[in-house]
Amino acid sequence: MLKIAVPNKGSLSETAAQMLAEAGYHGRRDPRELVTQDPRNNVEFFYLRPRDIATYVGSGALDVGITGRDLLLDSESPAAEVAELNFGESTFRFAAPGGQFDSLDQLQGRRVATSYPGLVGAFLAKTNVTATLVKLDGAVESAVRLGVADAVADVVSTGSTLRKAGLEIFGPVILQSTAVLISSGVENPGADTLLRRLQGVLVARQYVLMDYDVPRVHLDAATAVTPGIESPTISPLADPDWVAVRAMVPRTEMNLVMDSLWEVGARAILVSPIHAARL
């Protein structure tokens, strides 16, 4: 069986489980289960702390896993990133009391508190900055106020938490992270199937199917609006002056596309969700 590591809790857990379900896999029903099998798909799921997944996969104990890119890099595991999964986005930045630091090189010889010492240490090494890293499991924004560190490196969304702690963002972005599929590197046909299925879920979430009727004289203008992936499907109608067209359209643009199609003469414009795809 293909051994798959899945986050057992945290921000990645629910979305990862939902994505696997959309890909046709059957995971655990009881949140207390740590291991469950899906014999029909020949896979076995191991529900682990997100921070530990890269270590297990990198050791070869498990074949593949879903975790954050930040956790993969912080672990310094030999596991390899296979694909982005487009959820769990986060940004890592440096922060310090307002006006204290303007550039990264000012951290030379200073103390930086973080929950990601591997990730931050590697970034500082690449920029030739030597700093003392203070490892904390959470609430790093309090480290400066309590005198444990001179600056912090942490996940930033709106920055409101840092501002409440009297901190300001400075320096370059450390990392743009997202959920990723990682692999031990051991060949397994089931891993290829998993990747194709997850990519199919991503396509299904990003696109919709659009069907419409359009006069033949306006067909070129209409298909320029909906070129599809390779090309649109065009079918004749009972009225020889009209044709039916079907094409995949980016979900975020579907209403703009419908407006444009109406303007070129298309009618009976219908949108349908895509539940699975292989491209």
- Lowest mean pLDDT of 7-11, 17-21, 37-41, 255-259, name the range: 7-11
pLDDT band at 157 (very low <50, low <70, confident <90, very high): confident
What end-to-end distance do the CA atoms of the chain give, in Å? 26
- How does pLDDT run across 169-202, given as a tens digit for each residue? 999 999 999 999 999 988 888 999 999 999 999 9
Instruction: Name all domains of the chain by residue range, CATH numbers in brackets.
Output: 2-87+178-204 (3.40.190.10), 90-176 (3.40.190.10), 207-273 (3.30.70.120)
Which of the 8 DSSP states describes residue 140?
Answer: G
d(CA 171, CA 94): 6
Tokens linked to 245? 């067209």
Q: Assess whether pLDDT exceeds 90 at residue 255.
A: yes
**How is residue 275 written in tokens?**
């539940």
What is the Cα–Cα distance from 23 to 228, expressed in whole angstroms?
23
For residues 2 and 42, the answer to whether their CB atoms sit within 8 Å is yes
Residue 204: Cβ within 10 Å count: 17
Give yes or no for residue 3 having a pLDDT over 90: yes
What pLDDT sits at residue 189?
Answer: 87
**Average pLDDT for residues 250-256, to the nearest whole number?**
97
What is the value of pTM for the model shown? Answer: 0.86
Residue 194 in tokens? 């998993």
- At residue 188, the 3 state secondary structure works out as coil
Beta strand 233-236 pairing with 242-250? antiparallel
Note the Cα 48 to chain centre separation in Å: 19
Q: Where are the alpha helices (DSSP H) in the chain?
A: 13-22, 50-59, 69-75, 117-126, 160-164, 189-206, 219-225, 254-263
* Percent of the chain with pLDDT strictly greater than 90: 87
Confidence of residue 163 (pLDDT cuts 50, 70, 90): confident
DSSP-assigned letters across all residues of 196-237: HHHHHHHHHHHEEEEEEEEEGGGHHHHHHH---SS--EEEE-
pLDDT at 50: 94
Q: What is the H or E stretch that residue 18 is in? A: helix 13-22
Q: Look at residue 236 and tell me whether its pLDDT is greater than 90.
A: yes
Query: If you ran DSSP here, which 8-state letter would residue 44 be given?
Result: E
